[in-house]
Amino acid sequence: MSDIRFTDKPLSDWMRSSAADSEIVISSRVRVARNVQSFPFPMLATDQQSRAVLDKVTEILQFDDIHQFGNFHVLNLDEISELDQEILVEKHLISPNLANESRNGAVILSEDESISIMVNEEDHLRIQCLYPGFQVQEAWKRASAIDDVFEAHIDYSFDDRRGYLTSCPTNVGTGVRASVMMHLPALVMTKQIGRVLTAVSQVGLAVRGIYGEGSEATGNLFQISNQITLGQTEAEIIDNLYSVVLQIIGHERNARERLMTDSKLRIADRVMRSYGILSHAYLMDSKEAAQRISDVRLGIDLDLIREKTIVEMNELNVLIQPGFLQKKFGRTLESGERDMYRAQLIRESFQREN
């Protein structure tokens, strides 16, 4: 039976660390897509072939060179419940595709969950490294080092002209996807967000919601990532994302300063109203909860609220998701029930501190 301790706690240990610019950049992630030579891509592989890939990948955990990055645990998805799989998605440790469509899918997790290696997702191997705050360059260095270890033991599918070969053509080349999760409430409030995100898309970056492609941006959370993997080096991809995000951080800081100069009373009123609603509401859908938590998070960053912490807000953002709600209360919950239990969980969290 796979170890499911990773689904018992809402916040990964790496998210509890302080980091640069964490008031705006919640996390940085780099993901490397690779495939094993001589095996069909996962979507075409037979059950026997996908099992052979899983065995080949997990064998690498026996070698000493991988343990320079810590201890790892293998979670076979066919050995854990759908609810636990949903929680792993909510924590960004696996993708919805791995949970819903994979054959012999598994994830290899480090103790602190900062390293997540998906096996038999859209590609045979997806190495993901996560860091708190704005540390995309550090995330790339670690992902690259782990990739080097795997490449020392596995022959990758590689073409001299096209680079690393992947299931989706948009990943061919470097196979690198780098992203940051940003909290941009001031740009939204000052109605600058559209202009900023349009400019971002014009320099080869994509803007998505908290759960990536196809997800809605709720709670003023935006995922910024590279779109181009072919025709640029890994360093160019990372440097381009870094420089653009640095500019967005500057715009958000300026917008916050402007709000505090021109509309401090209005901002304080908005923040404290959300604080009060979260403390006392009996029904709360996920969209409203995300927005109210965003307001409180901004209040903490602006030193308008001192009773709560950013870590607590990060934890709440995971706890209010459907999977965690159902795990905490021990039963399957319909939509209306989730709204009631979500409000109860948030209310207890806020009133306990008060």
Q: How confident is the model at residue 1 (pLDDT cuts 50, 70, 90)?
A: very low
Question: What's the count of helices (H) and strands (E) in the chain, helices before strands?
Answer: 12, 10
Residues 43-65: tens digit of each pLDDT = 999 999 999 999 999 999 999 99
Tokens of 17: 């660390």
Task: Determine whether the annotation assigns residue 180 to a binding site.
Answer: yes
Mapped onto helix, strand or coil, the DSSP state of residue 216 is: coil
In degrees, to the nearest 5, what angle opens at C-alpha 302 toward C-alphas 296 and 303?
A: 90
Q: What is the pLDDT of residue 285?
A: 95
**What band does 9 get if pLDDT is binned at 50, 70 and 90?**
confident
- Known binding residue 18? Answer is no
Ranges of beta strands (E only) in the chain are 25-34, 72-76, 106-110, 115-119, 125-132, 158-159, 163-164, 176-183, 205-208, 221-226
Cβ(69)–Cβ(146) below 8 Å: yes
Interval 224-244 mean pLDDT? 93
Q: What is the predicted pLDDT for the residue at 107?
A: 97
Examine the pLDDT at 160 and tell me if it is beyond 80.
yes
Mean pLDDT of 195-214: 81
Contact present, 77 and 90 (Cβ < 8 Å): no
**What proportions of the chain, in percent to the nearest 5, are helix, strand and coil?**
50, 15, 30
Q: Is the pLDDT of residue 2 over 70?
A: no
Report the pLDDT averaged over residues 152-164: 94
Q: Which residue has the higher pLDDT, 213 or 37?
A: 37
Q: Are strands 221-226 and 205-208 parallel, antiparallel or unpaired?
A: antiparallel
Q: How many CA atoms lie within 13 A of 285 on its CB side?
A: 5
Instruction: Check whether 306 is labelled as a binding-site residue.
Output: no
Whole-number pLDDT of residue 248: 97
Mean pLDDT within 68-95: 94
Is 209 marked within a binding site? yes
pLDDT tens per residue, range 110-152: 999 999 999 999 999 999 999 999 999 999 999 999 999 999 9
Is 193 known as a binding-site position?
no
Are the C-beta atoms of 347 and 280 separated by less than 8 Å? yes
Nearest to 41 by CA among 134, 156, 194, 140: 156
pLDDT of residue 216: 63
Residue 91 CA to residue 150 CA, distance in Å, equals 25
Residue 352 assigned to a binding site:
no
Percentage of the chain modeled with pLDDT above 90: 83
pLDDT-based confidence at residue 210 (cuts at 50, 70, 90): low
For the stretch 271-304, pLDDT in tens is 999 999 999 999 999 999 999 999 999 999 999 9
177 annotated to bind ligand: yes
Share of the chain above pLDDT 70, in %: 96
Annotated binding residue at 347? no
User: DSSP string spanning 161-214?
Assistant: TTEE--SSGGGTBT-EEEEEEEE-HHHHHTT-HHHHHHHHHTTTEEEEBTTBTT
Q: Give the mean pLDDT of the chain.
A: 92
Tokens of 128: 């993901």
**pLDDT-derived band at 4, boundaries 50, 70, 90:** low
Q: Determine whether the annotation assigns residue 242 to a binding site.
A: no
Q: What does the alpha-carbon distance between residue 85 and residue 42 come to, in Å, rounded to a whole number?
A: 19
DSSP per-residue letters across 297-314: HHHHHTTS--SS-HHHHH
Q: Is 31 annotated as a binding residue?
A: yes
Residue 212 is labelled as binding a ligand: yes
Q: At what angle do helices 310-319 and 286-301 cross, to 10 degrees?
A: 170
